[in-house]
Structures are given as C-alpha cells and as structure tokens.
C-alpha cells in the first residue's frame, strides 16, 4: 500500500 | 529537502522576481503573456487551498504566500496599472487560454488519486501548470526582439521544471514508497515544452546573438 501523499512540494 | 528541490524553488522564485523587476522598474510588460500569467495565478490558487489547513513548514507556507501574492500582483499590474498595461501586446497575445482550462479540469475529474474537492483541485493545478506556458511560448515566437529579461524569465521557469525532475529522481531513490505518477508525468510534459526554447536560448548565448525564435 502507498502512504499518504506528502504535499510538501510547491 | 534536497539540493535539486531547493535549487528548483530558488530558480522559480528568481523567475518571478525577474518578471516583477521588469514590470515594476521599467513599467513594461512587453513580450509577457497575460494569458500565461492568469493561468499561473489560477494554478497557485487551486493548488494552495491547503495553505491554512495543512502546515508543513514555515518555508513551505512562506513560499506559497510569495507565489500567490506575486502571481496575482503581476496580473493586476498588466491589467490595471496605467503605464504597464499600455506596453501589453494585446494583439500578439491571442492564445485562447480558456481552451486549456476546461480539458485540464475534466482530466482532473477523471484522473486523480482521490475524488475529493481539494485533491481534484490540486490535480487540476498540476495539469494546468504543465500547459500554462504555451501562450507565453507562442508570444515569444511572434516577438521580433525578445528582451533579455523576458528571455531570462522563461529560461528560469524552464530551469525550475528541470530541477524538479532531478529532485523527483533523487527522492525516488532515497525515500521509501515515493511514487507519484500524476505530478511526474505532468511535470515531464511541462519540461518538454521548454525544450525548443532552451535550444534557441543556448544557441543565442553560444553565438553571443540576440535571442530570436523561428516563426
């Protein structure tokens, strides 16, 4: 499974 | 944060500063596509809906505020400032940008990672950013004398995209489970759109000639 997507990019 | 990501953000920031510098000091937006600038404002507004709900870092929040503020003030300058708007090449900047909005939105409704409002808007912003440069590239092709600041602006934007791809490659090999197809493919498409411009940019730089794109 994939972890929650980190929206840490701009 | 890795060096590619930081360098990418910094070239992105530099591109915005170069454009604001041109508009603010020379009071001219000659060669700049309002269509592209409006699309970028929509890109940031739809992508940063999480700005007040998800805190990542001070850096992240500040950069989001800078990109939102700068993109809307550039649009304001070109539309409302009485000197700047006079320099706007309205007759050359004819790309029908709303033709890009609807397909990107439909694509975001169809292809997304999660069907929620925020997620669809975020995906829409990625698709739209990928093609938002098109009106600007068309305008460049029509401009006989591309001034240095405009050339540097587009160069810095392209560099930002290229560096983001290096950042993704780096993160793919250093972080577990780091796979994000939607930003990767749209980012790759976006970077490829700059390939032609880059070719002529380096040619003009190598031969020490003024930048001119073939019509």
Between chain A and chain B, how many beta carbons pairs sit less than 8 Å apart?
A: 23
pLDDT (tens digit per residue) in B108-136: 999 999 999 999 999 999 999 999 999 99
Chain B residues with CB under 8 Å of A6 CB are: 56
Nearest Cβ partner of A10 from B54, B64, B113? Answer: B64
- Could you give the CA distance from residue B31 to residue B68 in angstroms, rounded to a whole number? 22
Taking the domains of chain B in order of start, what are their residue ranges? 3-207
**Segment B25-63, tens digit of pLDDT:** 999 999 999 999 999 999 999 999 999 888 999 999 999
For B208, left (φ over 0), alpha (ψ -120 to 50), or beta? left
Q: Which of B9, B50, B179 sits opposite A7 (nearest CB)?
A: B50
Q: Which of B133, B142, B40 is nearest to B91 (CA)?
A: B142
pLDDT at B105 over 90: yes
Rounded Cα gap, residues B214 and B101, in angstroms: 27
Strand runs labelled E in B62-204: none
First CA to last CA across chain B, in angstroms? 40
B160, two tokens: 């930002």
Q: In the structure encoding, which two tokens stand for residue B38, read together?
A: 């409006």
Burial class (CB in 10 A: 0-12, 13-18, 19+), B52: exposed
Cβ burial B137-171 (10 Å sphere, 16+ → b, else e) = bbbbbebeebbebbbbbbbbbbbbbbbbbebbeeb
What ipTM is given for this predicted complex? 0.83
- CB < 8 Å to B122, chain A: 7
Question: Is A2 close to B56, i.e. CB distance below 8 A?
Answer: no
What is the rounded average pLDDT of the residues B68-76?
Answer: 97
Confidence at B21, pLDDT banded by 50, 70, 90: very high
Q: Measured in whole angstroms, how far is the alpha carbon of residue B86 from the centre of its chain?
A: 24
> Residue B12 carries which DSSP code?
H
Residue B63 touches partner A, C-beta closer than 8 Å: yes
Cα gap B192→B172, rounded to integer Å = 20
Cβ contact B161:B187 at 8 Å: yes
- Among B154, B162, B47, which Cα is nearest to B104's? B47
Q: B164: which chain A residues are within 8 Å (Cβ-Cβ)?
A: 9
* Model confidence pLDDT, tens digit, residues B136-189: 999 999 998 899 999 999 999 999 999 999 999 999 999 987 889 999 999 999
């Amino acid at each position: 499974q994939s972890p929650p997507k980190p929206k840490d990019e701009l | 944060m890795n060096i590619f990501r930081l360098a990418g953000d910094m070239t992105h920031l530099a591109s915005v500063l170069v454009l604001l510098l041109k508009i603010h000091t020379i009071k001219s937006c000659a060669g700049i596509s309002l269509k592209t600038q409006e699309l970028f404002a929509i890109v940031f507004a739809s992508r940063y809906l999480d700005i007040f709900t998800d805190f990542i870092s001070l850096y992240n929040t500040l950069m989001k505020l800078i990109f939102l503020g700068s993109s809307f003030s550039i649009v304001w300058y070109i539309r409302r400032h009485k000197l700047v708007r006079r320099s706007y090449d309205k007759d050359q900047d004819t790309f029908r940008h709303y033709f890009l909005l609807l397909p990107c939105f439909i694509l975001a409704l169809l292809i997304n990672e999660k069907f929620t409002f925020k997620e669809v808007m975020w995906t829409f912003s990625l698709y739209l950013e990928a093609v938002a440069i098109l009106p600007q590239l068309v305008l460049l092709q029509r401009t006989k004398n591309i001034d240095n600041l405009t050339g540097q602006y587009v160069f810095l934007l392209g560099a930002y995209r290229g560096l983001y791809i290096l950042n993704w490659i780096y993160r793919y090999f250093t972080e577990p489970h780091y796979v994000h197809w939607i930003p990767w493919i749209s980012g790759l498409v976006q970077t490829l759109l700059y390939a032609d411009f880059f070719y002529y940019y380096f040619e003009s730089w190598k031969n020490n000639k003024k930048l001119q794109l073939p019509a």
